[in-house]
Amino acid sequence: MKFKEFNITFLGTSAASINPYSPTSTCLLEGGDTKIMIDVGIGALRQLHRIHIDSEEIDAVLITHWHFDHYAGLPALLKSRKSTSVLSIYGPKPSIPARIYLIGLLHSALIYFEAVTENFSKDCGDIHIETFPTVHDIISFGWVLTERIPGEQCGKRRIVISGDTRPTQSIINVAEGADLLVHEATYLDKHANRAYTHEHSTVTEAANLAIKARVGALALTHIAHQYSKLSALKEAEKIFPVVLVPSPLDTIYIEPLSDSAKRGNFGWGHVRMIGNRIIGKV
Ligand SMILES: [Zn+2]
Ligand SMILES: [Zn+2]
């Protein structure tokens, strides 16, 4: 059978710092004919336009939690849509600051908003979406995105996105055998105490979790601005063999594999990261 494309583009990768050159947490998953955004951080709409995707093309938006760096781009995204089709947004019940910031928007007739709980599960075009509980200083969920192949039980590609969280068993449970785990790694191991205090994860913690979940590949994101990508990569590669540290507009493509090829150990993923997707486009 011919497999369709299954990839994730990192539109923004920064943690909470506000920097015009460094958009905050936003991913775009493209599977088959379906496009899903996971979190809509600062600068998300501009990043979408830079890769020549219109907000009208987005089928659904998933929110991990209502911290500003994960939803501040929503008003621009929603206001830019001109079509009469309804955009579905799934996320935890909005916090009071989020409700004030998004006042009116989530009640628009052109938006379907559903406050989800853990173990929410739904088919969304060519992708199946599920939540799982995570551990942060506000109610938060990670998301599992699995491709839907009608009539096919094997070889479905799966990406697990942690959102902001401490390392937790629930991620290991849902990420078991996933093609790609996208995990936050706000701090390096030398600042593990800060990760604990602020309810985030370190690079080392994310890499150890990837081993326990026996995932194919690990992508680290939400790295605090005081660290270089290289320092995060070096720390992770001491533990886990297939690590990617995407920059904004990098795309990770997941190659299809049979279930038997995925069985066994960790780091078996067939992934390739293409840098800066706007290159080569008009
Ligand atoms: Zn964050
Ligand atoms: Zn957060």
For ligand 1, the distance from its centroid to the CA atom of residue 39, given in whole angstroms, is: 10
Lowest model confidence (mean pLDDT) among 43-47, 175-179, 278-282: 278-282
For ligand 2, the distance from its centroid to the CA atom of residue 136, given in whole angstroms, is: 7
Q: Please state the rounded mean pLDDT for residues 245-264.
A: 87
For ligand 2, the distance from its centroid to the CA atom of residue 67, given in whole angstroms, is: 5
Please report the pLDDT score of residue 228 as a whole number: 92
Rounded mean pLDDT of the chain? 91
Ligand located closest to 16 CA? 1
Record the pTM: 0.94
Domain ranges within the chain, ordered by starting residue: 6-274
Ligand located closest to 13 CA? 1
Using only C-alpha atoms, the chain has a radius of gyration, in whole angstroms, of 17
Angle at which helix 229-237 crosses helix 203-212, to 10 degrees, equals 40
Q: How confident is the model at residue 1 (pLDDT cuts 50, 70, 90)?
A: low
For ligand 1, the distance from its centroid to the CA atom of residue 41, given in whole angstroms, is: 9
Ligand located closest to 95 CA? 2
Lowest model confidence (mean pLDDT) among 10-24, 66-80, 128-142, 151-165: 10-24
Pairwise CA distance, residues 136 & 185, whole Å: 13
Output the CATH code of domain 6-274: 3.60.15.10
Please report the pLDDT score of residue 152 as a whole number: 72
For ligand 1, the distance from its centroid to the CA atom of residue 86, given in whole angstroms, is: 27
DSSP string, the chain: -PPPPEEEEEEE-B-S---TTS-BSEEEEEETTEEEEEEE-TTHHHHHHHTT--GGG--EEE-S---HHHHTTHHHHHHT--SSSPEEEEESPPPHHHHHHTTTGGGSTTEEEEE--TT-EEEETTEEEEEEE--SSS--EEEEEEE--TT--S---EEEE--S----HHHHHHHTT-SEEEEE--B-GGGHHHHHHTT--BHHHHHHHHHHTT-SEEEEE-B-TTS-HHHHHHHHHTT-SSEE-PPTTEEEEE----HHHHSSSS----EEEE--TTTT--
Higher pLDDT, 16 or 195: 195
Ligand located closest to 137 CA? 2
**Tens digits of residue pLDDT in 158-190:** 999 999 999 999 999 999 999 999 999 999 999
For ligand 1, the distance from its centroid to the CA atom of residue 112, given in whole angstroms, is: 24
Please report the pLDDT score of residue 122 as a whole number: 96
For ligand 1, the distance from its centroid to the CA atom of residue 6, given in whole angstroms, is: 25
For ligand 2, the distance from its centroid to the CA atom of residue 139, given in whole angstroms, is: 9
Q: Please state the rounded mean pLDDT for residues 32-54.
A: 95
Higher pLDDT, 153 or 33: 33
Please report the pLDDT score of residue 31 as a whole number: 94
Ligand located closest to 134 CA? 2
Is the pLDDT score of 9 beyond 90? yes
For ligand 1, the distance from its centroid to the CA atom of residue 273, given in whole angstroms, is: 23
Is the pLDDT score of 280 beyond 90? no
For ligand 2, the distance from its centroid to the CA atom of residue 275, given in whole angstroms, is: 26
